Structure 1
Protein backbone atom coordinates (compact mmCIF):
# COMPACT_ATOMS: atom_id res chain seq x y z
CA UNK A 1 0.00 0.00 0.00
CA UNK A 2 1.69 3.18 -1.20
CA UNK A 3 1.01 6.83 -0.54
CA UNK A 4 2.14 9.91 -2.45
CA UNK A 5 5.77 10.87 -2.02
CA UNK A 6 6.80 14.36 -0.93
CA UNK A 7 9.41 16.38 -2.78
CA UNK A 8 12.30 15.13 -0.67
CA UNK A 9 12.03 11.55 -1.90
CA UNK A 10 12.37 10.32 1.68
CA UNK A 11 10.02 7.47 2.51
CA UNK A 12 8.87 5.69 5.62
CA UNK A 13 7.78 2.07 5.89
CA UNK A 14 4.92 1.37 8.29
CA UNK A 15 4.90 -2.25 9.45
CA UNK A 16 1.21 -2.57 10.24
CA UNK A 17 -1.12 -5.00 11.89
CA UNK A 18 -3.23 -6.49 9.12
CA UNK A 19 -6.37 -5.43 10.96
CA UNK A 20 -5.20 -1.78 10.90
CA UNK A 21 -3.59 -1.64 7.48
CA UNK A 22 -6.56 -0.39 5.45
CA UNK A 23 -7.65 2.45 7.75
CA UNK A 24 -3.99 3.39 8.27
CA UNK A 25 -3.40 3.49 4.52
CA UNK A 26 -6.50 5.68 4.08
CA UNK A 27 -5.17 8.15 6.65
CA UNK A 28 -1.73 8.13 5.01
CA UNK A 29 -3.24 8.84 1.58
CA UNK A 30 -5.46 11.63 2.91
CA UNK A 31 -2.55 13.32 4.67
CA UNK A 32 -0.19 12.86 1.71
CA UNK A 33 2.53 11.36 3.88
CA UNK A 34 5.50 9.70 2.09
CA UNK A 35 4.66 6.39 3.73
CA UNK A 36 4.19 2.84 2.43
CA UNK A 37 2.05 0.54 4.56
CA UNK A 38 3.31 -3.05 4.82
CA UNK A 39 0.75 -5.27 6.56
CA UNK A 40 1.46 -8.44 8.47
CA UNK A 41 -1.24 -11.15 8.56
CA UNK A 42 -4.17 -10.16 10.82
CA UNK A 43 -4.45 -13.72 12.13
CA UNK A 44 -1.20 -13.12 14.05
CA UNK A 45 -3.57 -11.74 16.69
CA UNK A 46 -4.59 -15.32 17.37
CA UNK A 47 -0.92 -16.12 18.09
CA UNK A 48 0.37 -12.89 19.67
CA UNK A 49 3.59 -14.56 20.83
CA UNK A 50 4.65 -14.51 17.15
CA UNK A 51 4.03 -10.80 16.54
CA UNK A 52 7.32 -9.40 17.87
CA UNK A 53 9.50 -11.71 15.79
CA UNK A 54 7.45 -11.06 12.66
CA UNK A 55 7.75 -7.31 13.18
CA UNK A 56 11.51 -7.66 13.69
CA UNK A 57 11.85 -9.72 10.50
CA UNK A 58 9.87 -7.36 8.28
CA UNK A 59 11.26 -4.17 9.81
CA UNK A 60 14.81 -5.41 9.34
CA UNK A 61 14.08 -6.33 5.73
CA UNK A 62 12.48 -2.95 4.98
CA UNK A 63 15.20 -0.90 6.67
CA UNK A 64 17.50 -1.61 3.73
CA UNK A 65 15.27 0.31 1.30
CA UNK A 66 13.56 2.98 3.45
CA UNK A 67 14.80 6.04 5.28
CA UNK A 68 12.97 4.90 8.41
CA UNK A 69 10.55 2.27 9.68
CA UNK A 70 7.65 2.69 12.11
CA UNK A 71 5.42 0.08 13.73
CA UNK A 72 1.66 0.20 13.27
CA UNK A 73 0.82 -2.01 16.23
CA UNK A 74 -0.25 -1.47 19.79
CA UNK A 75 1.17 -4.04 22.24
CA UNK A 76 -1.50 -6.47 20.97
CA UNK A 77 -0.95 -9.17 23.56
CA UNK A 78 2.85 -9.39 23.26
CA UNK A 79 3.27 -8.37 26.93
CA UNK A 80 6.21 -6.08 26.20
CA UNK A 81 7.97 -8.29 23.63
CA UNK A 82 7.10 -5.84 20.85
CA UNK A 83 8.48 -2.95 22.89
CA UNK A 84 11.73 -4.88 23.28
CA UNK A 85 11.97 -5.27 19.51
CA UNK A 86 11.24 -1.56 19.00
CA UNK A 87 13.93 -0.63 21.50
CA UNK A 88 16.39 -3.03 19.88
CA UNK A 89 15.81 -1.63 16.38
CA UNK A 90 15.19 2.00 17.37
CA UNK A 91 11.56 2.00 16.17
CA UNK A 92 8.42 3.76 17.39
CA UNK A 93 5.12 1.95 17.71
CA UNK A 94 1.56 3.10 18.18
CA UNK A 95 0.42 3.54 21.80
CA UNK A 96 -2.00 1.36 23.70
CA UNK A 97 -2.52 -2.24 24.71
CA UNK A 98 -4.52 -3.33 21.67
CA UNK A 99 -6.06 -2.15 18.40
CA UNK A 100 -9.26 -1.04 20.10
CA UNK A 101 -7.34 1.68 21.95
CA UNK A 102 -6.26 3.09 18.60
CA UNK A 103 -9.83 3.72 17.52
CA UNK A 104 -11.53 4.61 20.81
CA UNK A 105 -8.63 6.12 22.78
CA UNK A 106 -7.14 4.41 25.81
CA UNK A 107 -8.93 6.36 28.55
CA UNK A 108 -12.31 6.33 26.80
CA UNK A 109 -12.14 2.61 26.19
CA UNK A 110 -10.97 1.90 29.74
CA UNK A 111 -13.98 3.78 31.10
CA UNK A 112 -16.31 1.82 28.85
CA UNK A 113 -14.83 -1.52 29.93
CA UNK A 114 -14.84 -0.54 33.61
CA UNK A 115 -18.53 0.29 33.30
CA UNK A 116 -19.30 -3.13 31.80
CA UNK A 117 -16.37 -5.58 31.98
CA UNK A 118 -18.20 -8.25 29.98
CA UNK A 119 -17.83 -6.33 26.72
CA UNK A 120 -16.81 -8.06 23.51
CA UNK A 121 -15.29 -5.54 21.10
CA UNK A 122 -15.50 -5.37 17.33
CA UNK A 123 -13.87 -3.08 14.77
CA UNK A 124 -14.86 -2.69 11.12
CA UNK A 125 -12.22 -5.25 10.22
CA UNK A 126 -13.60 -7.80 12.68
CA UNK A 127 -17.15 -7.13 11.53
CA UNK A 128 -16.17 -7.88 7.93
CA UNK A 129 -14.06 -10.93 8.79
CA UNK A 130 -16.01 -12.32 11.77
CA UNK A 131 -16.89 -15.65 10.15
CA UNK A 132 -13.26 -16.26 9.21
CA UNK A 133 -11.30 -14.73 12.09
CA UNK A 134 -13.63 -15.68 14.95
CA UNK A 135 -16.14 -18.35 13.99
CA UNK A 136 -13.78 -20.59 12.00
CA UNK A 137 -10.71 -19.90 14.12
CA UNK A 138 -12.60 -20.82 17.30
CA UNK A 139 -14.23 -23.83 15.66
CA UNK A 140 -17.77 -22.53 16.14
CA UNK A 141 -18.70 -23.52 12.61
CA UNK A 142 -17.93 -27.14 13.52
CA UNK A 143 -18.82 -27.18 17.20
CA UNK A 144 -21.44 -24.48 17.85
CA UNK A 145 -21.90 -25.76 21.38
CA UNK A 146 -18.54 -24.18 22.23
CA UNK A 147 -20.19 -20.76 22.04
CA UNK A 148 -21.18 -20.88 25.72
CA UNK A 149 -17.65 -21.90 26.74
CA UNK A 150 -16.11 -18.96 24.90
CA UNK A 151 -18.70 -16.27 25.59
CA UNK A 152 -20.41 -17.23 28.86
CA UNK A 153 -18.92 -14.25 30.71
CA UNK A 154 -19.68 -11.62 28.06
CA UNK A 155 -22.78 -9.47 28.34
CA UNK A 156 -22.73 -7.37 25.18
CA UNK A 157 -20.98 -6.66 21.89
CA UNK A 158 -19.69 -3.14 21.27
CA UNK A 159 -18.82 -2.26 17.70
CA UNK A 160 -16.27 0.58 17.59
CA UNK A 161 -17.40 1.68 14.16
CA UNK A 162 -15.13 3.55 11.78
CA UNK A 163 -17.54 3.66 8.82
CA UNK A 164 -20.93 2.37 10.01
CA UNK A 165 -22.71 1.91 6.70
CA UNK A 166 -25.78 -0.28 6.21
CA UNK A 167 -23.82 -3.34 5.08
CA UNK A 168 -21.51 -3.26 8.07
CA UNK A 169 -24.43 -2.69 10.45
CA UNK A 170 -26.03 -5.85 9.10
CA UNK A 171 -22.79 -7.81 9.49
CA UNK A 172 -22.24 -6.47 13.02
CA UNK A 173 -25.73 -7.50 14.05
CA UNK A 174 -25.17 -10.91 12.52
CA UNK A 175 -21.92 -11.30 14.50
CA UNK A 176 -23.65 -10.34 17.75
CA UNK A 177 -26.51 -12.74 17.01
CA UNK A 178 -23.97 -15.48 16.27
CA UNK A 179 -22.71 -15.33 19.84
CA UNK A 180 -26.07 -14.48 21.39
CA UNK A 181 -25.32 -11.00 22.73
CA UNK A 182 -26.94 -7.57 22.29
CA UNK A 183 -25.14 -5.11 20.01
CA UNK A 184 -24.16 -1.53 20.85
CA UNK A 185 -22.81 0.64 18.03
CA UNK A 186 -20.29 3.33 19.01
CA UNK A 187 -19.28 5.50 16.03
CA UNK A 188 -15.59 6.32 16.48
CA UNK A 189 -14.33 7.17 13.02
CA UNK A 190 -10.56 7.19 12.55
CA UNK A 191 -9.75 10.50 14.21
CA UNK A 192 -7.82 8.99 17.11
CA UNK A 193 -5.96 6.60 14.81
CA UNK A 194 -4.97 9.55 12.64
CA UNK A 195 -3.70 11.45 15.67
CA UNK A 196 -1.48 8.64 16.92
CA UNK A 197 -0.22 7.86 13.42
CA UNK A 198 0.76 11.50 13.01
CA UNK A 199 2.68 11.31 16.25
CA UNK A 200 4.95 8.52 15.02
CA UNK A 201 5.08 9.35 11.29
CA UNK A 202 5.54 13.12 11.25
CA UNK A 203 8.59 13.09 13.51
Structure 2
Protein backbone atom coordinates (compact mmCIF):
# COMPACT_ATOMS: atom_id res chain seq x y z
CA UNK A 1 0.00 0.00 0.00
CA UNK A 2 1.38 3.40 -1.02
CA UNK A 3 0.99 6.10 1.57
CA UNK A 4 0.35 9.55 0.21
CA UNK A 5 1.72 12.57 1.98
CA UNK A 6 -0.91 14.90 3.32
CA UNK A 7 -0.51 18.46 2.13
CA UNK A 8 -1.80 21.60 3.72
CA UNK A 9 -4.64 23.39 1.92
CA UNK A 10 -3.44 26.11 -0.42
CA UNK A 11 -3.89 29.35 1.47
CA UNK A 12 -2.63 31.71 -1.19
CA UNK A 13 -6.10 32.39 -2.61
CA UNK A 14 -7.83 32.62 0.77
CA UNK A 15 -8.64 35.74 2.78
CA UNK A 16 -7.91 35.41 6.47
CA UNK A 17 -9.74 37.86 8.71
CA UNK A 18 -8.12 38.30 12.12
CA UNK A 19 -10.84 39.92 14.19
CA UNK A 20 -11.85 40.87 17.68
CA UNK A 21 -13.84 38.08 19.28
CA UNK A 22 -16.59 40.61 19.94
CA UNK A 23 -17.46 40.76 16.23
CA UNK A 24 -16.94 37.09 15.28
CA UNK A 25 -20.65 36.36 14.87
CA UNK A 26 -21.08 39.44 12.70
CA UNK A 27 -18.11 38.63 10.45
CA UNK A 28 -19.52 35.17 9.85
CA UNK A 29 -22.96 36.64 9.17
CA UNK A 30 -21.50 38.97 6.52
CA UNK A 31 -19.53 36.07 5.04
CA UNK A 32 -22.75 34.09 4.59
CA UNK A 33 -24.72 37.09 3.42
CA UNK A 34 -22.22 37.94 0.67
CA UNK A 35 -21.24 34.37 -0.16
CA UNK A 36 -17.58 34.94 0.65
CA UNK A 37 -16.57 31.30 0.57
CA UNK A 38 -12.86 32.09 0.45
CA UNK A 39 -12.99 34.09 3.69
CA UNK A 40 -11.66 32.41 6.82
CA UNK A 41 -11.87 33.80 10.34
CA UNK A 42 -9.70 33.66 13.41
CA UNK A 43 -10.14 35.85 16.48
CA UNK A 44 -8.20 37.41 19.29
CA UNK A 45 -9.85 37.21 22.73
CA UNK A 46 -12.91 39.40 23.18
CA UNK A 47 -11.66 40.47 26.62
CA UNK A 48 -8.93 42.51 24.92
CA UNK A 49 -11.74 45.07 24.73
CA UNK A 50 -10.76 45.85 28.33
CA UNK A 51 -7.02 45.52 27.68
CA UNK A 52 -6.26 47.44 24.45
CA UNK A 53 -2.54 47.36 25.24
CA UNK A 54 -2.62 43.63 24.44
CA UNK A 55 -4.12 44.01 20.98
CA UNK A 56 -1.08 45.18 18.99
CA UNK A 57 1.44 42.59 20.27
CA UNK A 58 -1.12 39.79 19.94
CA UNK A 59 -1.95 40.90 16.40
CA UNK A 60 1.74 40.97 15.51
CA UNK A 61 2.08 37.33 16.54
CA UNK A 62 -1.19 36.35 14.84
CA UNK A 63 -0.10 37.84 11.51
CA UNK A 64 3.33 36.23 11.72
CA UNK A 65 1.65 32.87 12.39
CA UNK A 66 -0.73 33.36 9.47
CA UNK A 67 2.13 34.22 7.12
CA UNK A 68 3.99 31.11 8.25
CA UNK A 69 0.90 29.08 7.41
CA UNK A 70 0.88 30.51 3.88
CA UNK A 71 -1.78 33.19 4.04
CA UNK A 72 -1.00 36.00 1.64
CA UNK A 73 -4.24 37.93 2.02
CA UNK A 74 -5.03 39.11 5.54
CA UNK A 75 -7.54 41.68 6.76
CA UNK A 76 -7.91 42.87 10.34
CA UNK A 77 -11.35 43.06 11.90
CA UNK A 78 -10.43 45.79 14.34
CA UNK A 79 -10.62 49.56 14.35
CA UNK A 80 -7.98 51.35 16.44
CA UNK A 81 -9.88 50.14 19.52
CA UNK A 82 -7.94 52.13 22.08
CA UNK A 83 -4.45 51.13 20.94
CA UNK A 84 -3.45 54.75 20.33
CA UNK A 85 -2.00 53.97 16.91
CA UNK A 86 0.05 50.97 18.05
CA UNK A 87 -2.12 48.58 16.04
CA UNK A 88 -1.52 50.62 12.89
CA UNK A 89 2.24 50.38 13.41
CA UNK A 90 1.98 46.60 13.47
CA UNK A 91 -0.23 46.51 10.40
CA UNK A 92 2.05 48.87 8.50
CA UNK A 93 4.97 46.57 9.23
CA UNK A 94 3.09 43.62 7.75
CA UNK A 95 1.33 45.49 4.94
CA UNK A 96 -2.12 44.63 6.28
CA UNK A 97 -5.26 46.80 6.36
CA UNK A 98 -7.96 47.07 9.02
CA UNK A 99 -11.45 48.45 9.44
CA UNK A 100 -11.47 52.24 9.38
CA UNK A 101 -12.42 54.15 12.48
CA UNK A 102 -11.66 54.51 16.18
CA UNK A 103 -13.73 51.53 17.38
CA UNK A 104 -16.45 49.07 16.37
CA UNK A 105 -19.13 51.40 17.75
CA UNK A 106 -18.11 53.80 14.98
CA UNK A 107 -17.96 51.39 12.06
CA UNK A 108 -21.20 49.68 13.08
CA UNK A 109 -22.94 53.03 12.69
CA UNK A 110 -20.97 53.85 9.55
CA UNK A 111 -18.17 56.40 9.73
CA UNK A 112 -20.19 59.16 8.10
CA UNK A 113 -23.12 58.66 10.46
CA UNK A 114 -20.80 58.38 13.46
CA UNK A 115 -19.05 61.64 12.61
CA UNK A 116 -22.39 63.43 12.88
CA UNK A 117 -23.21 62.07 16.35
CA UNK A 118 -19.78 61.60 17.93
CA UNK A 119 -19.82 64.85 19.87
CA UNK A 120 -23.37 64.36 21.11
CA UNK A 121 -22.54 60.79 22.15
CA UNK A 122 -19.53 61.73 24.27
CA UNK A 123 -21.43 60.97 27.49
CA UNK A 124 -23.10 57.83 26.15
CA UNK A 125 -22.36 54.19 26.95
CA UNK A 126 -22.57 52.00 23.87
CA UNK A 127 -23.81 48.43 23.76
CA UNK A 128 -23.89 46.01 20.83
CA UNK A 129 -25.51 42.63 20.28
CA UNK A 130 -22.40 40.97 21.68
CA UNK A 131 -22.35 43.14 24.79
CA UNK A 132 -26.04 42.46 25.37
CA UNK A 133 -25.42 38.72 25.17
CA UNK A 134 -22.42 39.02 27.47
CA UNK A 135 -23.60 41.78 29.79
CA UNK A 136 -23.22 39.73 32.95
CA UNK A 137 -19.88 38.22 31.91
CA UNK A 138 -18.39 41.47 30.64
CA UNK A 139 -19.76 44.02 33.11
CA UNK A 140 -21.70 42.74 36.10
CA UNK A 141 -19.26 40.09 37.34
CA UNK A 142 -15.86 41.61 36.38
CA UNK A 143 -16.81 44.97 37.91
CA UNK A 144 -18.38 43.32 40.93
CA UNK A 145 -21.73 44.96 40.27
CA UNK A 146 -23.62 41.74 40.90
CA UNK A 147 -22.46 41.79 44.52
CA UNK A 148 -21.89 45.52 45.00
CA UNK A 149 -24.49 47.47 43.00
CA UNK A 150 -23.48 50.59 44.92
CA UNK A 151 -20.42 50.72 42.64
CA UNK A 152 -22.61 51.51 39.65
CA UNK A 153 -22.34 55.24 40.31
CA UNK A 154 -18.55 54.99 40.50
CA UNK A 155 -18.29 53.25 37.13
CA UNK A 156 -21.17 54.81 35.21
CA UNK A 157 -21.90 58.05 37.02
CA UNK A 158 -20.41 60.18 34.24
CA UNK A 159 -22.62 58.67 31.55
CA UNK A 160 -25.99 60.13 30.64
CA UNK A 161 -27.37 57.66 28.15
CA UNK A 162 -27.08 54.00 27.10
CA UNK A 163 -27.21 53.60 23.33
CA UNK A 164 -27.87 50.11 22.01
CA UNK A 165 -26.39 49.71 18.53
CA UNK A 166 -28.44 46.77 17.30
CA UNK A 167 -26.96 44.52 14.63
CA UNK A 168 -30.10 42.38 14.57
CA UNK A 169 -33.75 42.66 15.53
CA UNK A 170 -33.92 40.44 18.59
CA UNK A 171 -36.54 41.27 21.23
CA UNK A 172 -34.56 39.38 23.87
CA UNK A 173 -31.49 41.54 23.29
CA UNK A 174 -33.68 44.63 23.38
CA UNK A 175 -34.86 43.57 26.83
CA UNK A 176 -31.29 43.15 28.03
CA UNK A 177 -30.30 46.61 26.78
CA UNK A 178 -33.37 48.26 28.30
CA UNK A 179 -32.80 46.48 31.62
CA UNK A 180 -29.14 47.50 31.58
CA UNK A 181 -30.05 51.14 31.04
CA UNK A 182 -32.49 51.03 33.96
CA UNK A 183 -29.95 49.27 36.17
CA UNK A 184 -27.25 51.82 35.39
CA UNK A 185 -29.64 54.74 35.80
CA UNK A 186 -29.19 55.95 32.22
CA UNK A 187 -31.55 57.22 29.55
CA UNK A 188 -32.07 54.67 26.78
CA UNK A 189 -31.82 54.87 23.01
CA UNK A 190 -31.87 52.11 20.41
CA UNK A 191 -30.23 52.51 17.00
CA UNK A 192 -30.69 49.83 14.39
CA UNK A 193 -27.32 49.81 12.64
CA UNK A 194 -27.04 46.36 11.12
CA UNK A 195 -23.41 45.62 10.33
CA UNK A 196 -22.64 49.14 9.16
CA UNK A 197 -19.28 49.54 7.42
CA UNK A 198 -18.31 45.96 8.28
CA UNK A 199 -20.18 44.69 5.23
CA UNK A 200 -18.51 46.88 2.58
CA UNK A 201 -15.20 46.61 4.43
CA UNK A 202 -15.16 42.82 4.22
CA UNK A 203 -16.49 42.93 0.67
CA UNK A 204 -13.59 45.12 -0.47
CA UNK A 205 -11.04 42.97 1.33
CA UNK A 206 -12.48 39.82 -0.22
CA UNK A 207 -12.52 41.36 -3.69
CA UNK A 208 -8.84 42.23 -3.38
CA UNK A 209 -7.84 38.75 -2.20
Q: Is TM more than 0.5 here?
A: yes
User: How far off is 1:143 after superposition?
Assistant: 2.3
- The TM-score with structure 2 as length reference comes to 0.88
Aligned length: 196
Of the structure 1 ranges 163-172 and 137-146, higher mean CA displacement relative to structure 2 is found in 137-146
Q: Tell me, yes or no, if the aligned pair for 1:113 and 1:119 is still in contact at 8 Å.
A: no
Decide whether aligned partners of structure 1 residues 59 and 159 sit closer, same or farther in structure 2, where only a CA change above 3 A counts. same
User: How far off is 1:102 after superposition?
Assistant: 1.6
User: How far off is 1:40 after superposition?
Assistant: 1.1
- The TM-score with structure 1 as length reference comes to 0.90
Aligned partner of 1:60 in structure 2 is 64
Aligned partner of 2:26 in structure 1 is 23
- Give the superposed CA RMSD: 1.6
- Bigger RCO of structures 1 and 2 (CA < 8 A, at least 6 apart): 2
In structure 1, runs of 5+ residues without a counterpart are 1-7
Q: Which has the larger radius of gyration?
A: 2
Of the structure 1 ranges 175-184 and 95-104, higher mean CA displacement relative to structure 2 is found in 175-184
2:77 counterpart of 1:46 = no
2:148 counterpart of 1:170 = no
Superposition misfits of 4+ residues, deviation over 6 angstroms: none
Q: Tell me, yes or no, if the aligned pair for 1:70 and 1:92 is still in contact at 8 Å.
A: yes
Decide whether aligned partners of structure 1 residues 9 and 90 sit closer, same or farther in structure 2, where only a CA change above 3 A counts. closer
What is the correspondence of 1:1-203 to structure 2 with a 5 Å cutoff?
10-33=13-36, 34-65=38-69, 66-203=71-208
Q: Tell me, yes or no, if the aligned pair for 2:131 and 2:138 is still in contact at 8 Å.
A: yes
